[in-house]
Homo-oligomer: A and B are copies of this chain.
Amino acid sequence: MAYDGTLFHGWQIQVKERSVQEEIQKALKKITGEDIIIHSSGRTDAGVHAENQVFHFDTDKNINEKQWARALNHFLPDDIYIKDSEAVSDDFHSRYSVKKKEYHYRLSTNTYSPFDRHTIYQYPYGKLDLEIMREAAKIFIGEHDFASYCVYDEYGNTIRTLYDFTIEEKDGFFTFKLIGSGFRRYMVRHIVGGVIQVGAHRRSIAYLKELLDSKGEKKCLFKAEPEGLYLMHVHYEEE
């Protein structure tokens, strides 16, 4: 599924705020009459987008696997689109079966455009140094305790493996591409936020490394804005 996160308070169902989960569950109720709880590969925060999010659910309703997408799209609002649907085995779980996830972060250093305001972070402070950001990205690759780049959580395991982190630029439009075993809340936005500071020559690569190595003692204080972030792919197979 794809969704434009602009008008959602995030993935997870909320009491008063609009959420992606609630919209889908409401659509499923209309199709099946059942009170279905859906499970995604993970949450996304308010304003964050998905190009290819995955969710699963259990149902007694007998509909052809490919027809679920069409039926859901009929009832869903226009900022959510189900791209495909298929039947899965009982041991599949959208969250626990994940092998890798890929996030992209889109940023522009060009003149402000009102058309991009919800879908690209429009960096307003001038140029960014692509080469030094690419160097900075390297320090995050591999298995690390990312506690300094996550939301504080006393109990959670903050060790993750980042398999790849590349940055592309074309005509002032930057795309940061991160592939990892998983990402904790705000982790991509803190990593990208730190790398942007290096690209602006406001912080050094050594400083980002020092934060990382402190394993939560020293927190990254830079968090990139939500509108640039996209969940691009969820991989369930080892490649």
Contact = CB atoms under 8 A, between A and B. Distances in A.
A79 B2 contact: no
Q: What number of copies of this chain does the assembly contain? A: 2
A64 interface: no
A19 interface: no
Nearest to A78: B117
A79 B114 contact: yes
A189 B80 CA distance: 27
Interface in A102-128: 111-115, 117, 119
A222 interface: no
Nearest to A115: B4
Interface in A1-60: 2-4, 49
Contacts of A3: 114
A80 B114 CA distance: 6
A115 B78 contact: no
Interface of A: 2-4, 49, 73, 78-81, 83, 111-115, 117, 119
14 contacts: A2-B113, A2-B114, A2-B115, A3-B114, A4-B117, A49-B115, A78-B114, A78-B117, A79-B114, A80-B114, A81-B112, A81-B113, A81-B114, A115-B119
Given A49-B115, A73-B112, A78-B117, 13 more contacts: A2-B114, A2-B115, A3-B114, A4-B114, A4-B115, A4-B117, A78-B114, A80-B114, A81-B112, A81-B113, A81-B114, A83-B111, A115-B119
